[in-house]
Chains A and B, each alone.
Chain A
Amino acid sequence: MRVALIGWSLLAGVAVAQTPLPGAPAPAAQEAFPGTAAAANPLPAGPMAAPLAEKASDVPDPEKLRRSVDALGRMRNVLKEVLGKLEEARNTKDVVKLNCVNEKLTQIKGLLRISEQSDVSLQEAVAKKETSSGEHEFTKVMIAKQKVDQLRAEAEECIGQLAFRTDENLTVEVEVPDDLPNLDPTRPQTPPDVIARPPPVSPTL
């Protein structure tokens, strides 16, 4: 139950993003202008990007099953890639990169778990000829797959953040040799002034 709640909250962001605003052109109209669509949608256009534009009811049940399996395979590949990046950040002891990649990885794992449950539910729905339930589960897998693609792109960007991104939680450890003297040689004594002290003359003759 808890997993399902998390899953829907994860998917909500993408679902809202997919909902056209009142007065905005329909997705089909956007596809008619590829340049405009690409500019408006920062997500990479993968091989599975097109089916989301389709209504789930337009996709035959066998196709739903095939596409769902493909999406799961792709999501697992993405998970493997991001795990590699996490390991790379851990080996270089790069805390900033590690935190960034780990955040994306956690979301990808959650989405994959939801998608695997939805795939099972989709297969049951197709077997029982429950059209509405099948369409619902198919839509969940497709949205999750698109969200995972987006997270993969964001994990890639974590690499470039190293050079310039710092915050108040970032600490820098400086290794100081043990045998350094305690005194501060960056403040050496200024050489003393030359002092004049000529002999005086007797006060009386």
Chain B
Amino acid sequence: MLAGAASVALLLPSLAAAQSPSQAGVLSHAGPNGLKVGEGRLHPFVDVEPRLDTAAGFFPVGNMLSSTPSPELVMHLRPGLRFELPSNTVAIDFVGAAEYLYFTGLFAPGSYLYSRLEGAAGLSAAVNRQGQIEFDLADDFNYSDKTRNLALGVGALSLYNEARAQLSIRPGGGALEITPRGAFGLEQFRALSRLRPVGCTPGSLTCDPNAIPQMNYTNLRAGLDGRWKFLPKTAIVLESNFDSRSYAATGNTPSLLLRGMAGLQGLLTTKVAVVAKAGWGYDFAPPPASAMGSNANTFLAHAELAYLFNEATNIKVGYYRSLEPVPVYQTVRDDRIYGDGRMLLSGRLALHAYGALDFLGFAAGSNRLDTSVTVDPSIEYQILPWLYAAGGYTLSMRVAGIPNASSSESYTRHEAYLRVSAAY
């Protein structure tokens, strides 16, 4: 039992890191005991993480800004809380952490000015879990220099929040599930500097720090999903999403993006799992007047093949084509090839590796095609039931497919880190 719990705790950090780097290390901290609060348990935790970043920022050389980013050692201190109330009537799960980034100035004197406070929090509540009608509420908050805004071309702070609600309707025995849902999100950007990177045109929405607040947006999302399990671990699914993206500032074109996919998800054999879905995406909003082409209208797909050695050890490879609203360019199409592997040894040592190659096609007649490469291997070991040690390396490379891109729009970032986590 303890080994099982430890396995899950060990797997979560790498899972969280792969899913959302902005919340890496936040979603992992369910300690062994916790403090009893009502019917739930509160787990305080703290992370200490020295991280070497080869693209910490562009610093001056003499009186000029360098066109190549400088490395720096950044210390991360991340205290937080996790609250768990498992119940079929009302289940609550909250995790929140503040994060202080201390730029040591070892490689780039003056980088200490970047030292700052960031934070992330996630809350989810489920009413009548596993019942015929389940109601879920969730909220995600993130304040950091990581963003899903792929048009952003210079380092900035992003304040992101999304609130979601959904109903899961399971008539009969639960083989059929229908899920209507809705969400409201917003993201605001704040410059870390007033200086433009080398090669950035003044006033450019993507790279001029003085202009990036014009990318602030609100996003209203509605969706309807259907899932029919025709075998115990295999289902036919139908997913639909409608995004209404709007911007306060002019210079951005709103999106009215409808996406739908249908296909198969689940086990083919007891060891082989697949995802095979295809669909279409269409932007109903008119393209900007200056655009030469038409608005987004393209097929979508997700194909994934996974081999399950056991519940904690598996490998998978896949192809994913998606369409998302984005500032400046209205929509961005992502063609991704990816691989993921994870392994748990002796119930204490977790290995994880993720790699992805993305081709990002921006719309609004720009013909911009970026390339993004991500490599993220990591290792984590549970020293004591409340103490973890982890280490890893991350490669993030972005090649902007525009002529005369600024120095910050194409970059290669190598990061190596060690992390010690204590959770009660």
Q: A residues bordering B, Cβ < 8 Å?
A: 174, 176-177, 179-189, 191-205
Contacts and interface: CB of A to CB of B under 8 A. Distances in A.
A200 B320 contact: no
Contact of A201 (B65, B320, B338): B65
B60 A194 contact: no
B110 A204 contact: yes
Contact of A194 (B69, B148, B266, B304): B148
Interface of B: 15, 18-22, 55-60, 63, 65, 69, 110-111, 113-114, 145-156, 192-197, 209, 227, 229, 232-235, 237, 265-267, 270, 273, 275, 302, 304, 306, 308, 310-311, 318, 320, 324, 334, 336, 338, 356, 358, 360, 372, 374, 396, 398, 408-409, 411, 413
A197 B396 CA distance: 9
Q: Which 5 A-B pairs have the closest CB atoms?
A: A200-B155, A186-B235, A200-B192, A185-B273, A199-B69
A193 B20 contact: yes
B411 A181 contact: no
8 contacts: A186-B237, A191-B302, A193-B148, A197-B146, A199-B58, A200-B155, A201-B58, A203-B114
A195 B21 contact: yes
B76 to A, nearest CB: 14
B398 A198 contact: yes
A184 B60 CA distance: 52
Given A188-B304, A200-B193, A202-B59, A195 B146 contact: yes
Contacts of B151: 196
Contacts of A205: 60, 63, 65, 195
A175 B270 CA distance: 14
A14 B366 CA distance: 87
B150 A185 contact: no
A202 B195 contact: yes
A198 B360 contact: no
A199 B411 contact: yes
Given A176-B232, A186-B266, A202-B193, A197 B209 contact: no
Contact of B114 (A181, A195, A200): A200
B402 to A, nearest CB: 14
A176 to B, nearest CB: 5
A194 to B, nearest CB: 5
A46 to B, nearest CB: 45
A202 B58 contact: yes
Contacts of B19: 189, 192
Contacts of A202: 57-60, 65, 110-111, 113, 193, 195
A183 B150 CA distance: 33
Nearest to B144: A197
B60 A198 contact: no
A193 B147 CA distance: 9
B147 A195 contact: yes
Contact of B266 (A185, A192, A199, A201): A185
A87 to B, nearest CB: 32
B267 A196 contact: no
A186 B229 contact: yes
A203 B192 CA distance: 7
Contacts of A199: 55-58, 69, 154-155, 408, 411, 413
A176 B233 CA distance: 10
Contacts of B156: 200
Given A186-B235, A189-B15, A200-B192, 10 more contacts: A181-B267, A183-B311, A186-B234, A192-B21, A194-B356, A195-B20, A197-B145, A198-B398, A199-B411, A201-B193
A197 B21 CA distance: 10
Contacts of B193: 200-203
B308 A181 contact: yes
A176 B209 CA distance: 58
Given A185-B266, A205-B60, A196 B149 contact: yes
Nearest to A185: B273
From B196, B265, B360, residue with most partner A Cβ within 10 Å: B265
A194 B235 CA distance: 27
A188 B360 contact: no
Nearest to B319: A191
Contacts of A181: 233, 267, 270, 308, 310-311
B363 to A, nearest CB: 16
Contacts of A189: 15, 19
Contacts of A204: 60, 110, 113
Given A174-B232, A181-B270, A200 B154 contact: yes
A186 B227 contact: yes
Given A185-B273, A188-B273, A198 B411 contact: yes
A202 B270 CA distance: 54
B146 A200 contact: no
A180 B269 CA distance: 9
Contacts of A193: 20, 148, 324
Contacts of B334: 194
B22 A195 contact: yes
B270 A186 contact: no
A201 B265 CA distance: 44
B411 A191 contact: no
Contact of A185 (B149, B265, B324, B372): B265
Contacts of A196: 146-152, 398
A174 B233 CA distance: 12
A182 B8 CA distance: 13
B233 A185 contact: yes
A63 to B, nearest CB: 61
Contacts of B147: 195-197
Nearest to B108: A202
B150 A200 contact: no
